[in-house]
Amino acid sequence: MSLKIKYALFYDFHTSSLIPDLGKDFDVERFTDNLLACGVDFITWHARCNQGNAYYDTACGYKHPGLTYDLFGEILRSCKAKGIRVSAYFNGALSDEELIRHRDWMRIAPDGRSISENRISPYMRCTCYNSPFREHLKNMVRELAQTLAPDGFFFDCMSKQLTCICPYCMREMQARGIDYNKRSELEAFTGESVLRLAKELHALIKDILPQAMFFLNGSMVEEMQGYNSHFESESLPTVPGLGYDFLPVQAHYLRNVAQGAPVLNMPARFYDWGDFGGLRKEEALEFDLFYGLANGMRPNVGGHWHPRGDADQPVFDLLKKVYNNMQQYDQWCDEASNKPEIGVVFTQSEENVLRSNQELRAAVRMLSELKYQFDVLTEGADWEGYKILLLPDKILLSEQSQARLQKHLDQGGRIIASGESGLDLQRQGFVLPAWPVEYRGASGIDPVYFESTGPFAQGLPEMPLSLYAQALAVRLKPGAELSMEIIKPYMNRGFDGLRSHFYTPPQEKSGLPFLALNPQVAYFSGRIFAGYFERSPYQLRLLLGNVIEHFHPRPMLRAPGLPSFARAFVQQNGNMRLLHILAYAPELRGNAVALEDRATLVNQELALRIDADEVKCVYLAPHRQELEFRLEDGYCHFTLAQMQGYALIVVEA
């Protein structure tokens, strides 16, 4: 029987040893009754935090000095009695208490420091994965598995970025001929160390508790396929560096990697890490969780637990309201799967990191604003079945990826690429013969403009338009079509020794292609996704949409009236086609992005490609309010008279 998680909560508490009254006012039964009222069937609770303190009776770890009873055991017993599963949180990298006592367990960073310069950080001290801490952590996990038998284990902060040059690591690296001065080799060695420890933890847990859940949190997602029982995505949009572009990338990526395993969507009730006094608005959590629901993710809101255990009733009141609202849609959304038509190809490397890549975030945003259905595909995913494969700006292709793209073309698929995507810099050329251009080098033009004429300029103003990014110089191949050309400025931006050239208007055509295509491949020489991330010019989004429409004139959804900030997702569940629409308005306020309001949309004309001869009914969930519809040219057409925030439209065939 496959693992099912419907409504989860994640409790994040890392408690200083100087806090004396841990758990003093905690009413475990009241707490777990609140969980039941929210419909929660799974929680993650700390067994050992990133301060190095344990929250259960341990013979091999360091129990928090202010805790007079077995807190984790009490939580586990009460939750099990009420049908709620519990996963034990262990931080696998950070500690104060253990590393104060065992300095030889500490990571030594490449700069020679064992304590980081930033003292006000949980990362001030980190463990070495190859030190005796390794067996210490395994002993604690073994002890907990044998004595309390939790339902699962969650391991945090274990990352290949926490590189180490301590004697334990150096002896192994020297024996293996690894050059620690090379960042790539050092990170690869650290990654191997993390995975080795993770797999050892997995093996010892499964030996004691064969049915236990297991999850290694962090960036090693595909490396842990076959070991992770489920996947979780930490997506706190109010934190700089994550924002509202982080969850969309993760949602469109993880559902492929998970291969049917549960994917948990973990936003938080607070605004920042270590924030005990933050409580986001209902609308903000609602947006995060409905976005996840529309992409096959289950809710897992993160929150802090106050050391005294005081009941944070306002938090539970909010969670109950949001979760109970979502539960109205379970009968339609359980077992639903998404219906993508475009695959965004992303090959990971030292320079291309999925969690932070700007061009990928821009591609996900542009396709979302255009209302296309898509997946994010790495080399660990299946690339079959997509109408279009999109390669944003700098996707370099291994031999395996080249073969996959060629197979896609051989089966009649289409490709849209930009910038360096598909380029082999060593060979100074594009790797697939299907590309409509030949590589000549950097364009040497700054700033880059492009002409907005021709069949793909629909909706664009007829004037040279800015790219806000760099472009390559390419030559059109015989038989390919030149659709748009690069416009060069009077002079490049810069300083010539006398004058500063900052105001550099467009002058004339450069003779260099900007958009070239053949029947199967469209290529932009300019980095249109970097340009969109930089300035968000709507013209680049419209241009991309025009090219996609050329290759794929019958998209899954036609929604010409939906505003760009609205999001739309199509899912299938048996004979039901589901259309999720989200209309919320994130807004930059000072240093943070806030979301407080649901937008109201009226009289939205929608057309859902149904590919069926008959439709029984169309209605709004959860109250089954029927909508008038008509079938025409393979599409089911209907009008949504009014919605606020979120709507689920069900088309039953």
31 within 8 A of 58, measured Cβ to Cβ? no
- Which pLDDT tens digit goes with each residue over 606-653? 999 998 789 999 999 999 999 999 999 999 999 999 999 999 999 999
**576-595 average pLDDT score:** 94
Direct distance between the N- and C-terminal alpha carbons of the chain, in angstroms, rounded to an integer:
29
> Which CATH class name applies to 557-652?
mainly beta
445-460 burial by CB neighbour count: b if 16+ within 10 A, else e?
bbbbbbbbeeebbeeb
Mean residue pLDDT of the chain comes to 96
Q: How far is CA 241 from the centre of its chain?
A: 12
104-125 burial by CB neighbour count: b if 16+ within 10 A, else e?
ebbbbbeeeebeeeeeeebeeb
3-state helix, strand, coil in the chain (%, to 5): 25, 25, 45
Three-state DSSP class for 522? Answer: strand
Task: Output the pLDDT for position 2.
Answer: 73
Indicate if the pLDDT at residue 259 is higher than 90.
Answer: no
Task: Output the pLDDT for position 426.
Answer: 85
Residue 206: CB atoms within 10 A of its CB come to 14
- Which pLDDT tens digit goes with each residue over 538-570? 999 999 999 999 999 999 999 999 999 999 999
Q: For 547-595, give the DSSP string.
A: HHHHH-SS-SEE-TTS-TT-EEEEEEETTEEEEEEE-B--EEETTEEE-
* Cα angle, residue 296 at apex, residues 292 and 297 outer, rounded to 5°: 50
The pair of three-digit structure tokens given for residue 412, joined into one six-digit string: 């009649």
Strands 587-589 and 481-489: unpaired
309 within 8 A of 27, measured Cβ to Cβ? yes
39-60 burial by CB neighbour count: b if 16+ within 10 A, else e?
bbbbbbbbbbbbbbbbbbbbee
d(CA 414, CA 36): 49
The pair of three-digit structure tokens given for residue 348, joined into one six-digit string: 């990971």
Task: Output the pLDDT for position 177.
Answer: 97
Q: Which fold has domain 8-327?
A: TIM Barrel (3.20.20)
Indicate if the pLDDT at residue 457 is higher than 90.
Answer: yes
d(CA 342, CA 347): 16
**417-438 average pLDDT score:** 95
Task: Output the pLDDT for position 311.
Answer: 72
530 within 8 A of 364, measured Cβ to Cβ? no
Q: Structural domain boundaries of the chain?
A: 8-327, 340-551, 557-652
The pair of three-digit structure tokens given for residue 145, joined into one six-digit string: 């598995």
Task: Output the pLDDT for position 1.
Answer: 43
Q: Count of alpha carbons within 13 Å of 390, Cβ hemisphere only?
A: 27
**410-421 average pLDDT score:** 98
> Which CATH class name applies to 340-551?
alpha beta
Task: Output the pLDDT for position 611.
Answer: 80
131 within 8 A of 168, measured Cβ to Cβ? yes
- Phi, psi dihedral angles at 110 (to 5 degrees): -55, -20
Q: Count of alpha carbons within 13 Å of 599, Cβ hemisphere only?
A: 17
CA distance to 425, 519, 637, per residue, from 440 (Å): 11, 22, 48
Indicate if the pLDDT at residue 446 is higher than 70.
Answer: yes
Task: Output the pLDDT for position 612.
Answer: 78
Indicate if the pLDDT at residue 219 is higher than 70.
Answer: yes
Indicate if the pLDDT at residue 480 is higher than 90.
Answer: yes
Task: Output the pLDDT for position 452.
Answer: 96
Q: How confident is the model at residue 515 (pLDDT cuts 50, 70, 90)?
A: very high
**127-138 average pLDDT score:** 97
pTM for the complete prediction?
0.95
Residue 653: CB atoms within 10 A of its CB come to 15
- Which pLDDT tens digit goes with each residue over 280-337? 999 999 999 999 999 999 999 999 999 999 878 999 999 999 999 999 999 999 999 9
Indicate if the pLDDT at residue 269 is higher than 60.
Answer: yes
**223-229 average pLDDT score:** 94
547 within 8 A of 521, measured Cβ to Cβ? no
Indicate if the pLDDT at residue 345 is higher than 70.
Answer: yes
Torsion of CA 400, 402, 405, 407, to 10 degrees: -70
Indicate if the pLDDT at residue 501 is higher than 70.
Answer: yes
Residue 502: CB atoms within 10 A of its CB come to 8
Amino acid at 91: N
Please compute Rg for the chain using Cα positions.
27
